[in-house]
Structure 1
Amino acid sequence: MESYLKDAFPCAKITKRSGIVTRLARERLNQLLGGENQQELVNIGKDMNWDYFVKLSLKTFEGKKIMVRAVCLERKNVNCIADADYVFVTMDYQGVKDGINQIAKRLIDKLSKYEICAFQGSVTITISSDLDSTNVEDYGVYCNESNQRYHKETVIKNHTFSEWKLQRKGIPWTDGTMTFYTDEMTKTTEEDGCHKCKTGKREGGLVTTMTSSMKVKGTGISHDSQFKGKKQDDTRVELQFLESDKYLVVAKGTSQPVTGEDKVVTQAQGTCDNQPLETKLLPRDIRVPLRVIFGPYDGKATDKHLQQKDTKEVKDPVSNEKQTINIDFSLTQKEK
């Protein structure tokens, strides 16, 4: 059993309960004889602070066969995460050996969807987002004893590109760098044939235009999260292993905020309420989020290496924003 676990999860330190009991008995005898080894007690305490507990049991059945069973418990949530069930074997050395091997393989297969040894390595993601939309509102209006029209057109042209160069360090923490560039423009033209003047009772035509534009570049990953009392990058690369021997890659993160300036240009011309050309610069904080899911890909948590290079295109059904997302990762199972 131990060799199977060590091969599947090379980072794990495996300690047998019988070994701890023997060491405790030896230290007890040592202290009775007047000796004391504080470091050995510390080491024993560390070995008892386990993350996973594998129980292998052998029981005789009707005096003719032996039942071999194995389960794995997770200490953090105190629940069984893998049950290899049981097998009945003959009451001899070879039978017991074959039964343990069979149960060990089953247990490893059950554990293959849990990332016990972290996958570490590089993950590069690029996202190119484009929104090019035109929204038109048009209907008839009536004033001054004649038919007029109300027409409003809103044009949006946005482009954002971000690149995330990450290094996965653990489950699921990463660090790294990111850069982004965004170019946004919104233009609204409103033609109201029956605009009600702010003063008086007159109604008449008014054409109002407003253009908002901004270009900004930024770098850096947000550091709002904390781990062991220290701030760290707000990026995660999660590996979700599925029952079908496949896995998903889920990347999350946020850029450092960058303050850009919205250039807002407005003008109105018509029967009344005219407004001369006016330009304002309005500060606005920009953050670029990272929320992508890739896969499923073939692979298990017991594999030694996970590597993929993939591209996908997605479209937001509400805003119609189009995204081209690329991912390139090479991850190796931690050995120590």
Structure 2
Amino acid sequence: MYALVLWVSGAGLRAAAQPASSAPALAPAYGPAVFPLVHQRAAAPLYVDGQDAEVVQVAAEALARDITALTGVTPARRAAGEALARYPVIIGTVGRSRLIDQLAAGGAGNLAQLKGQWETFSISVIDRPLGQPGKALVVAGSDRRGTAYGVFELSRRLGVSPWHWWADVTPRHQDNLYLTAGTQVSAPPTVKYRGIFLNDEDWGLQPWAAQNQDQDIQDIGPHTYARLFELLLRLKANLIWPAMHPSTRAFFHYPGNPRMADRYAILVGTSHAEPMLRNNVDEWQEKTRGPFDYFHNKAAVYSYWEQRVREAAGLEAMYSLGMRGVHDSGM
């Protein structure tokens, strides 16, 4: 795999709360007090409500792949309405997952603390889930990103680096995976918006993506962004400023890009030279639109911005205001 180095704000990575001392942790051996995530070549099944957010489904699929990478055993996926196994992994969002809501109503795992919080999660091992025999490993979130963060935090604790794909960090093989009893409830991030700005992509990321990820469009596109968005979630980040140099078409030029951002619950913003989610280098054509100058060409500039707002309706986005030149230049 082609090596790629990305810069991420350290403050953002420290934004999520550190795990509590009573949080479930890897146990060295099987015993009556542990949760057997993988035991004797059998994996605990993953229960996810089909009505939960798409990113929760994505995170559960990634967890299944991570467990396979660690042990060679792939857990089954089961719907929320199916009968619980003796040792289920229950993944879901408060208010979006019937199993999580039922557990919260019964006071399990401090799940009630999640309600109304921003990007908060709980990881807990509980006895007799919903009155059934056995134990459950419960990963719950206050919102869709909170749930995804909880799932990827579990993966990290199992031994999968957030950088496992981008930096070829192969996890150490384990025959079995056991977790101690306990509960962790994270605090909301102290930095609300955290992410990556893809800048100067023309010398590295863009040609690499064109050759290896998005060969059909020969550009940075949905396949590349899917890999980046998974990395952001694994790092507990939530924001992308897309690539914006002349070598790259605008993020919204490819409809799959904003769709992928929504699939991974990543907010989309734009950089210092790109107000209102517009990539001026690629999208502002002076021959047809006139000068990029609000004082002398207000109607064209306003229409240009308004069109993007309409296109981005329903997408979690961060809009910047103010103007400078089309790129790093004066007006």
TM range (shorter): under 0.3
Higher relative contact order (CA 8 A, sep 6+): 2
Q: What TM-score comes out, normalization by structure 2 length?
A: 0.21
Q: What TM-score comes out, normalization by structure 1 length?
A: 0.21
Which structure features the higher share of strand residues?
Answer: 1
